[in-house]
Amino acid sequence: MRTDTSNSGNGSGEKQCYSVGRSMKRKEDPRFLTGNGNYVDDIRLPGMLSMVIVHSPYPHARIRSIDKTAALAVPGVKAVITGEDLVAANLGWLPTFHGFDKQMVLAVGKVLFQHQEVAAVFADTREAALDAAELVEVDYDPLDPVTTPFDAMKDEVILRDDRDHKTNHIYHWESGDRGGTDAALDGAEITVNERVYAPRCHPAPLEPCGCVAQFDAMGRLHFHVTSQAPHVYRTAISLVTGIPEDKIRVVAPDIGGGFGNKVPVYPGYVCAIVGALILKTPVKWIETRTENLTTTGFARDYHMDVTIGANKDGTVTALKVRTVADHGAFDAAADPTQYPAGMFGIVTGSYDFPVAFTELDAYFTNKAPGGVAYRCSFRVTEASYAIERGMDILARKLDMDPADLRRKNFVHKDAFPYQSALGFTYDSGDYAGTLDKALTQIGYADLRKEQAEKRARGEYMGIGISTFTEVVGAGPSKHFDILGIKMFDSAEIRIHPTGTGIVRAGTKSQGQGHETTWAQIVSEELGLDAENILVEEGDTDTAPYGLGTYASRSTPVAGAAIALAARRVREKAKKVAAHLLEASPDDIEWTDHTFQVMGAPDRSVTMKDVAFAAYTNPGEGNEPGLEASLYYDPPNMTFPHGAYIAVVDVDADTGEVKVRRFLAVDDCGTVINPMIVEGQVHGGLTEGFAIAFMQEIPYDEQGNNLAPNFMEYLIPTAVESPVWETGSTVTPSPHHPIGAKGVGESPNVGSPAAFVNAVMDALAPLGVTHIDMPLTREKVWRAVRDARGAA
């Protein structure tokens, strides 16, 4: 498949610029690096108003009244809208994507979390809107807040008046064999149990969320928005507002990072559309950093009880994981309808558990709407953290090397397709091969020797392993939908007469490099120069309908659609080639990226020749032109995997952790662009590092958000970040047209456990078994102090 092995990018002198497997430089980067990206906030339209949202200072309070008078008196202010205004227009509530809940657009009756949206102000300038927002007088009657799911489950205070069910319980979800698992755990020679918490955190993309809403002279809505899923937005906006879908154009322009934050539809979007409609002029809304960190796109907040049963030799016999989930005031998760807890069922990980059971109960609390995402593949980060911590705790109890324990229990590479105890069919993998490669690459045996020497000297060095299995590519239409829309994806390819072309897809890059990798797929399939394949995404007027970019689904789903659409183009081209070569189409074969007459390789034409002929001389009976479109319904998910190893030194007196080395060996099947994959891995590891050591959005007992800015919510810079080492193995997906699996979230799924395992390994001599993330200096220091005190 790979014909051009150059690793040197798209420099001059290379004849063939196509092919999968080449580290072609990112086509989008010249635009970004020269400051020529086009983001939502770059849009300036005549008469455009600025919208500013008024937020609640209280986490839980009745709204007695709202007085707009003073705000409306500010020069330049055009309107102030409240929840009551929206309810009157039948726009009071938004559906959330997975359909389990709905969310207030602007608070009516009660506010349910600190910073909740209460009113929207529209003015000529942002300054005027900000001034007026401070003058919107809201009379609140504060109520006691419920800030943990454990308090919420008592149902002493019912948070949501709007629901028929008078309980804070949102849903119960379970999977697996409860009775069989309990029996196996009862009979197990060894069991370990630990409550691990994946703290509430936030994706915090550099560009916050925002939109520009504009109705044109014909009454058509043009909506530019930071969206990872523009088509779903179009349908959702139509369903919420009643505007016919053909009268809506959603455009996601350049996006400065999404990480899951830009999947849901937010109240600000609805308000901006309402403002543009009633004021008959364009409206812009751009979040501040604090608004982003306090109202949109929270992740995690899972309290997981992990129990593993095993034989004395280390063979695992059963897994049970019970989770209490804190979803905040509204269940804003964007999970597929049939998966309220996302893909959490991957919690058996890379191990051959004969039996397993997992259950989850989700609750409302007075926190911002939760359960959204953060480079998570729909809850796989939580699941992977739970099992990888659990396996390490078991290894410690058995006094086994954590690498040996894992190897002993891996799903064997000949066992694929593998049916997991929780119902997934893993497509392919070579877990032992990947782990062994990682152990060799990092010099594991030597590191263990060094550790033993250091321990003898009273120094705390730790080595942490995580051998995770990811599940991405949502998803097969049999099981996967969002708002009822099946989770296929799509591609449309047009080849121009001169042998260049355009490919459009239903996905939307936010930094992942689709403009490059999609061109590489087309180039590989058609033998055309990837430099001259334009990639366009994100405009619902031109792109075919697709479900968007999240859950690392773009390569598994849209990538497959692109490859198959290209093959459709090739089939059409073959008839034209036959005409040019004066042969029967049955005698034409596609070899070395050219059409050849079978058995006569000197009689050949290139795709470029054929493209020109398709418009100038297609041949009798052949359809002119050269294009195809295709909608792809994946037969299964793809299951990437990896082996990650962290090496840390802990200063037991100060709690400081130094990550000395970190190696990530990833297997995402066929790699389209190794450089882009490496970049994805670096980015995801940096986020995983942040989650392990510094990031949390905590709430105090009064319901105050304690990390509403970058002073409190920390983003690692190059100074803190370790130097990442990477490696790869390739186990192609058997059901994907080019064998590719997703990779975008693997590093964030796999790395937190490796970091925490490393720190626990360092502190093992003190008897510390677990510290919840983030492992701040203070927490590590306290754990060491307590352990020493107990000794």
Residues that bind ligand MCN (CB under 6 A): 205, 257-260, 375, 510-514, 517, 549-555, 668-673, 676-677, 680, 683, 740-745
Strand, helix or coil for residue 535: strand
Say which of 17, 201, 376, 668 is annotated catalytic. 376
Region class of 443: left (phi > 0), else alpha (psi between -120 and 50), else beta: left
Which two three-digit tokens encode residue 549?
């970019």
Q: What are phi and psi of 122, to 5 degrees?
A: -120, 130
Smallest distance, ligand CUM to C-beta of residue 205, A? 10
Report the residue number, 259 or 595, with the smaller CB distance to ligand CUM: 259
Is 375 among the catalytic positions?
A: yes
- Cα–Cα distances in angstroms (integers) from residue 697 to residues 168, 312, 780, in the given order: 21, 40, 19
Instruction: Pick between residue 249 and residue 375 the one whose CB is nearest to ligand MCN.
Output: 375
474 binds ligand CUM (CB under 6 A): no
| Separation of alpha carbons 742 and 516, rounded Å | 16
Closer to ligand MCN by CB, 114 or 517: give it.
517
- The dihedrals phi and psi of 539, each to the nearest 5 degrees, come to -110, 115
- To ligand CUM, the closest distance from the beta carbon of 732 in angstroms equals 23
Nearer to ligand MCN, 21 or 176 (CB): 21
**Tokens matching residue 331:** 């269940």
Residue 375 near ligand CUM by CB under 6 A:
yes
Among 121, 185, 376, 614, binds ligand CUM (CB under 6 A): 376
Number of residues that bind ligand CUM (CB under 6 A): 14
Residue with the two structure tokens 């849209």:
558
CB-wise, 295 or 507, nearer to ligand CUM? Answer: 507
CB neighbour class for 463 (10 Å; exposed up to 12, middle 13-18, buried from 19): buried
Say which entry of ligand MCN, ligand CUM, none residue 671 contacts (CB below 5 to 8 A, set by partner kind): ligand MCN
Select the span of 134-142, 259-267, 401-409, 759-767 touching ligand CUM (CB under 6 A). Answer: 259-267
What is the DSSP secondary-structure string of 626-656?
-EEEEEE--SS-B--EEEEEEEEEEETTTTE
Q: Is the Cβ of residue 301 or residue 529 nearer to ligand CUM in the bound state?
A: 301
Q: Which stretch binds ligand CUM (CB under 6 A): 53-61, 258-266, 485-493, 558-566?
A: 258-266
SS3 534: strand
DSSP designation for 791: -
Tokens 């657009």 appear where? 105
Q: Which is nearer to ligand CUM, 430 or 470 (CB)?
A: 470
> Is residue 271 flagged as an active site residue?
no
Question: Can you tell me which of 258, 499, 527, 727 binds ligand CUM, judged by CB under 6 A?
Answer: 258
Residue 377 binds to ligand CUM (criterion: CB under 6 A): yes
Under rule CB under 6 A, residue 743 binds ligand CUM: no
Quick one: what does residue 116 bind among ligand CUM, ligand MCN, none, with the CB cut-off 5 to 8 Å set by partner type?
Answer: none
**Can residue 97 be called a binding residue for ligand CUM (CB under 6 A)?**
no
Among 205, 210, 230, 260, binds ligand CUM (CB under 6 A): 260
* CB closer to ligand MCN out of 82 and 517: 517
- List the one residue from 93, 550, 699, 724 that touches ligand CUM (CB under 6 A): 550
Q: If contact means CB under 5 to 8 A according to the sort of partner, which of ligand MCN, ligand CUM, none does residue 462 touch? A: none
For residue 283, give every residue at least 6 positions away whose Cβ sits within 8 Å of its Cβ, in sequence order, or none: 48, 49, 50, 51, 122, 212, 213, 214, 272, 273, 275, 276
- Full DSSP string of 659-672: EEEEEEEEE-BS-S
Of 562, 465, 554, which is closest to residue 508 (Cα–Cα)? 554
Q: Where are the alpha helices (DSSP H) in 493-605?
A: 514-526, 560-580
Does residue 741 bind ligand CUM (CB under 6 A)?
A: no
Q: Is 214 a catalytic residue?
A: no
Which tokens in the block code for residue 29?
Answer: 């980067």
Window contacting ligand CUM (CB under 6 A); options: 12-20, 267-275, 373-381, 463-471: 373-381
743 binds, among ligand MCN, ligand CUM, none (CB under 5 to 8 A by kind): ligand MCN
Q: Is residue 284 within the footprint of ligand CUM (CB under 6 A)?
A: no
- Least CB distance from residue 39 to ligand MCN, whole Å? 13
Least Å distance, CB 69 to ligand MCN, is: 42
Question: Rule CB under 6 A: is residue 259 a binding residue for ligand CUM?
Answer: yes
Q: Residue 619's closest CA among 574, 579, 674?
A: 579
By DSSP bridging, strand 283-286 and strand 356-363 are: unpaired
Catalytic residue among 375, 379, 389, 504: 375
Nearest to ligand CUM of 119, 551 (CB atom): 551
State the minimum distance, in angstroms, from the CB of residue 713 to ligand CUM.
17
Closest residue to ligand CUM, judged by C-beta, is: 260
Nearer to ligand CUM, 339 or 410 (CB): 339
DSSP string, 148-217: SHHHHTTTSS---TTSSS-SSEEEEEEEE-HHHHHHHHHT-SEEEEEEEEE--B----SS--EEEEEE-T
Identify residues 744-763 at the interface with ligand CUM (CB under 6 A).
Answer: 745
673 binds, among ligand CUM, ligand MCN, none (CB under 5 to 8 A by kind): ligand MCN
Q: Is 373 in the site for ligand CUM (CB under 6 A)?
A: yes
> CA–CA separation, 385 vs 244, rounded Å?
44
- By beta-carbon proximity to ligand CUM, the closer residue of 135 and 263 is 263
Cβ distance to ligand CUM smaller for residue 351 or 378: 378
Q: In angstroms, what is the minimal distance from the CB of 253 to ligand CUM?
A: 18
Q: What residue type is 578 in one-letter code?
A: A
* Alpha-helical segments (H) within 504-555: 514-526
DSSP secondary structure, 437-476, as one string: HHHHHHTHHHHHHHHHHHHHTT-EEEEEEEEEE--B----
The yes or no reply on residue 511 touching ligand CUM (CB under 6 A) is no
740 binding partner (options ligand CUM, ligand MCN, none; Cβ < 5 to 8 Å by kind): ligand MCN
Q: Is the bond preceding residue 732 a cis peptide, omega within 30 degrees?
A: no
Considering the rule CB under 6 A, would residue 374 count as an interface residue with ligand CUM? Answer: yes
109-126 burial by CB neighbour count: b if 16+ within 10 A, else e? ebbbbbbbbbbbbbbbee
Indicate the helix (H) or strand (E) that contains 55.
strand 49-55
Q: Which of residues 190-229 bind ligand CUM (CB under 6 A)?
A: 228
Q: Is 376 a catalytic residue?
A: yes
Q: Which stretch binds ligand CUM (CB under 6 A): 367-375, 481-489, 566-574, 726-734?
A: 367-375
Rounded least distance, CB 555 to ligand MCN, Å: 3
| Span 238-257, contacts to ligand CUM by CB under 6 A | none
Report the alpha-carbon distance of residue 790 to residue 767 in Å, rounded: 10
116, 214, 228, 510: the catalytic one is: 228
Asked if 461 contacts 451 with a C-beta cutoff of 8 angstroms, the reply is yes
DSSP alpha helix (H) spans, 75-170: 83-88, 126-135, 149-152
Identify whether the C-beta of residue 711 lies closer than 8 Å to the C-beta of residue 778. Answer: no
Residues recognised as catalytic: 228, 375-376, 745
Q: Which residues of the shown chain bind ligand CUM in the complex (CB under 6 A)?
A: 228, 258-260, 263, 373-378, 550-551, 745
